[in-house]
Each structure stands twice: as structure tokens, then as C-alpha cells.
Structure 1
């Protein structure tokens, strides 16, 4: 019996560590799913009251700059990535053709003024021809009356009588022509209601000059807004430009905002004015505040060049994206370039974080 007791003690001591190991494994097996459940609950709880997307990009208003008149570029005063202010001269087009147009317009004005002066002093307008025609009528009538008396007495020929009668008719026709010429001369000097106080011929010449002067001013192409110059590769001295063909783009950096494309299922609690948090792939250390400025009037597919046609019978439901404009409320330490990838989180719980 004495020899058996030690063996019994050794067996019991061996079973205790084994049981502890079994309990340890059981605790580990139970703790892992419990920890996962707790972590999942915490993550789910953290998602409540906010929606986020990484389908978002920095946007900036852009102005395509073009020349309103055609011609050859003779001077360039800006280049790619230059910062310019509104009104700064960007480039100049050859002004000589438009200077010649102004010279032609000045000549047309002088010609119109000379015509007006000539018309004002013409015999047609003065009435001298009318007076002369009336005197001719009186003389022809008196001669015709004498021929009538002589014809009654038989002291004239039929030919002389007819000639005197024809002279009266001719003098009357000359009077009508002189009166018509006077009316036409007055019409040429008349001033229309559209341009009161100015003869139409001179008004036409003045308009041609104003058009030429406008074209000359447009040979100097200036920045319509402040921003950074981009896509200026066609801006070269000697380049022939066509009117209204864009040659560079101005990126208005003061107009920076973020366009975030949220799933349609995220819009239920979203509203204008809610706070937003922005992070940028290019600058991991920068986090900016913003707010929802507007929610798009339609999904992105509705405004695409080729919208989806769902009436073909091959329709597959796809969750649509709606563009949401986020206004940035803080100034960034680094430049926010157009097109930068952005992660946007909107706090939908009472619009606050």
C-alpha cells in the first residue's frame, strides 16, 4: 500500500494541469467570438449618425479663355501655372488688320459727311429747279395762248400750234420731276427715330468704326477672373487663332469645393447644412471641416453623355450615386488641386458631430 500511494499522488498531479489547459482553451475559444462581437458592435455604433464615401474629388471652377477675334499671336505675357488676377493681359493678337478697318471706317464717315453737305447744298433741295420749271410753264402757256389766237385767224401752222402745246406739257413734266427730286433729297437728309440727330449714312459709318474699335480692343485678351493658368500649350507667338477657340484654362482657386458621390441609400437622413469632415489621399495629415452646400438634382447617370436605357429588357438594378457638393470651411495648409481624391464623412445626427 505504501508503494501505491506515490503513484496515486502523481496521477492526480498530472490531471490538474490538463484540466487547466482545457479550461484555458475553452476561454480562448469563447473570448475570440465575444471580442469580435464587441468590436463589431462598437464599429456599428460608430457608423450611426454619419455617412461617408471615398468617391469624392476636389473641384474648382474653370474658365476656358479664347480670343473673340481671329489673328496671329504677336505677344504672350503668361505661361503654364502662372497666377494671374482678373484683368491681367494674357496675350495679344496682331492689331494691324483691325487698325486698317478703323481707317476704312474713318474714310466712310468722311465720305458720308461730304455726301450730306453736297445734298444740303444741291439745287434739288434748294428749290431752284422748281422755280425755273414754273417760269418755263408760264412762258410755254403764254406762247401756246398766242398760237391759239393765230390759229383761229389762220395766221399760223398746225405744226407751230402743236409745238407750243407740247412745250406746255413738257414744262409741266419738268416741274413734277423737280418736285420729286426735292422730296428725294429731303429723304436722304432725313433723321430716323432710331438714330435721332444723325444722318443715317453717317450713323452707318459710325457703327462700322465702333465695330472696328471693339475688334481692336479684343486683340488684347485679358483674364476674366483670378486664378492659375492651365492648358496653355497652344499659347505660342506666331500661332494663328480662330475666334472663340479656347487656348488656355483659368482655374479659380478661390472656388474650391468637393463633389462627393453618395449612394442613393445614404440620402435618407442627409440635409443641406450638415457638418462634414474631409481627408485627402495626397495629404494624409490634413483633416478639414466643411458642410453640405447642396444635394444634386439627379443621379450621375442622368447627366451622363449616354444615359442608361433600362427599357431593353436587360436591366440590372445598380445602386445609383448622387453628387453632393461640400463647401470647405477651413483653409488648407497645402494647395487643394482640382481632381484630388477625397474621403468625405457627413454627420447626419442633428447635423453635428
Structure 2
């Protein structure tokens, strides 16, 4: 008898095999049912573990020191040396105010100094300081006193009239009054030439003139407004030739590019384990893929609402608790490799366990 086909025999064997037991089907179904919750639990545990030891916020922005520039003197703008976005160095000229009025003030101060010096020379050579008036008054007193003595002697003998005696007395009194006036004029002249303890060795009027000249020179130097630090110019469109500026009114903003930092506003519930010096990681919305290392430099002394223009008043009947935000300053370490622009949105992660 010929051998049967192996394929046919295998098919018959499989057809003859008994179906799987109901217990095995139930076990496989139970495994399928439990696999999804277990996978979710494992994934959730891994996610929870990755969140431990760090806090994050996307309420963070790049900040740079900004200097509001104003003119220390008022006047008309005659030159604008910068444009918006221009990079300048410390000491570069930004704009210039008309210097002519302040040059005239220097000329006026020079004239005041010259007048004061002429007055000093005139006082030094005046008769009030020579003492001639005082000497003449004293001689006149001596002469009139001798005349009065003779008149008194004649009056006692009855050889003169009362009118002559009174005239002699009046002449003595007038001479003494002229002596007092001469002495007062000399004291006044000496006072005008005195130097005093505040400006020893120099007449006060001359010193006042020199002070006015120094102030005029200072104002003249302030007509050139220069950059106090290196940075980038902003809001330069407010500077126009011929525009009159007021003293102390900001007309230009200089963004200092020397040091950038990130101000991250963390929830108050994230501050429990945060401390100064902890490492941080900064990501930028403007530069995908750029990760910059940082470090917690300081933690704010108050919440954002505490320093707002109108602080919240919670002592009311309809008070609702809101999680507050505290500004945390993150120092950027090293060179980021890309331009830092004030106001860029960032995502900050602070590693409270210090593992990075």
C-alpha cells in the first residue's frame, strides 16, 4: 500500500486536535485586560519619577538691564548720531543739544569775574582803606577840643558868650561823628576785601564768578549726551533734529548687552525646595533646540501682585485664593551662542536636587 501524502496527514491531525480549553481562553483574556492598566501604572510611575527633584515654568522671559537716557540740560537737538537697533560702546555720542546758550553763559561768568576783580582793585586803593580820613578826623577833634577848652575857660571868667561856647561843643561833636563814619567806611572796605574761611585767599565775589563759570562749563559738556554703558539703542525714533528736549525727560533707551538673565515666575508652591545656587536649564521659544545652562541667582522678595500698581486687597467678603507667582532670577552661564533679546519667552527648569 502506498504511503499517504504528508500534507494530507498533517491536516487530518490538526482537524482531529481538540479545541483549546475554556480556562486557557479566560487566562489570555485576563492578561489582555490587565496589561493596559499595568502599562498605564508603569508609565505614570516613570513620569512621576522624572518630575521629582525639579520644578518648571514657561512664565519666564529674557531680561537685560535697560537705561533710560535723558538730557541733564534742556535745549534744541542739533545732531542725532544713532539709529534704532544700533550697537554702541560706552562713551559714544548719542545726540547733541545746541551748545550756544551755554557758551554765552560762560562769557557772562567771565564778565562777572572781571567786574569782581576790578572792584577788588578799586577797593584796595580807595581812601577808605588808606586811613587818611580817620587821621584828619582825629586832628579835627583835637583842634575843636582845644577851642572848646578855651571857650570854657573864658566862660568861667565871663569873657565869652554862651553861643560861642555851644558852637565849640557842637564842633567837637561833629568831628567825633566824622571819625566814627571814617572808621565805619574802613571796616566796610576791609570786609569787602576779606576772603573768609570757605574760600581762603580769594575774594567772595571772584569766587562766586568762578563758580558760575564752572557751572556753565559743566552744562556745556552736558550738551553732548553719550552712552554710559555698551548696548543696543532702542526707541531712537523719538529723537528728531530741531526737537526741544526738557531736562530729565527720558528720550532714549539703551539696552545693555553685557549681561542677560531670565526672570522666571514660579508658583509659590514650587519654592519649598528651591534655593539660590541650584542649577537650571533654559529653553527658548525663538531658538528651538537651544538649551542653555543657568543657575538660580536670587529669589524675589515679594510676589508679582505685591509690587503691582494696585496691590490686591484680600480683606473682603468675596475673597478667592489664587496661587501667587514669585519672580526668580536665573543667571545664564557661558555664552548662549545666539543673540539674547529682551523679552524672549523661555521655559525654565530648576533642578532642586542638584543633579544637573
TM-score, normalization: structure 1?
A: 0.91
Greater shift, 274-283 or 146-155, is seen at 146-155
Asked if 2 retains the 8 angstrom alpha-carbon contact of 1:134 and 1:175, the reply is yes
Cα deviation for residue 30 of structure 1 reads 2.9
Q: Tell me whether 1:123 sits opposite 2:127 in the alignment.
A: yes
Query: 1:207 is matched with which residue?
Result: 211
Does the CA-based 8 Å contact 1:73-1:93 persist in structure 2?
yes
What is the match of residue 78 of structure 1? 82
State the 1:160 CA deviation. Answer: 2.6
**Whole-Å separation in 2 of the counterparts to 1:23 and 1:11:** 24
Indicate yes or no: 2:303 matched with 1:289: no
**Residue 92 of structure 2 is aligned with which of 88, 93, 102?**
88
Give the alignment of 1:90-109 within 5 angstroms: 90-109=94-113
From the superposition, tell whether residues 96 and 34 of structure 1 become closer, same or farther in structure 2 (CA, over 3 Å).
Answer: same
Please, which of 221, 224, 248 is the counterpart of residue 220 of structure 1?
224
Out of 291, 302, 317, which is 1:313 matched to? 317
Deviations along 1:312-340, one digit per CA (max 9) or x if unpaired, are 12211111111111000121222110011
Q: Equivalents in 1 of 2:17, 2:232: separation in Å?
A: 82
**In the alignment, does 2:33 pair up with 1:43?**
no
1:136 aligns with 2:136: no
Report if the CA contact (8 A) 1:144-1:168 is conserved. yes
Aligned to 2:5: none
Q: Provide Cα deviations, 1:274-296, integer angstroms capped at 9, x if missing partner.
A: 11111000111200101111111
Corresponding residue for 1:4?
none
Aligned residue for 1:5? none
For 1:162, the equivalent position in structure 2 comes to: 166
Cα contact 1:274–1:352 (8 A) shared by 2: no
Change (3 A) 1:333 1:21: farther
Q: Equivalents in 1 of 2:191, 2:330: separation in Å?
A: 66
Deviations 1:121-172 (A, max 9, x none): 1111111110010011112122223333444454443333322221111001
Matched, 1:195 2:205: no
Unaligned runs of 5+ in 1: 1-8
Aligned residues: 344
In structure 2, C-alpha distance between the alignment counterparts of 1:147 and 1:181, rounded to whole Å:
32
Partner of 2:6: none
CA distance in 2, matches of 1:313, 1:249: 44
How far apart in 1 are the matches of 2:21 and 2:164?
165
State whether structure 2 residue 248 is matched by structure 1 residue 244. Answer: yes
- For 2:271, the equivalent position in structure 1 comes to 267
Distance in 2, Cα, partners of 1:265 & 1:14: 64
Could you say which residue in structure 1 is the equivalent of 2:7? none
CA distance in 1, matches of 2:313, 2:109: 57
Per-residue CA deviations over 1:248-295 (Å, capped at 9, x if unaligned) read 111011120001111111111111111111100011120010111111
CA distance in 2, matches of 1:14, 1:327: 73
Normalising by structure 2, report the TM-score.
Answer: 0.91
Shift of 1:21: 8.4
Q: Distance in 2 between matches of 1:145 and 1:334?
A: 108
C-alpha separation in 1, matches of 2:154 and 2:281? 120
The corresponding residue for 1:179 is: 183
Structure 2 counterpart of 1:342: 346
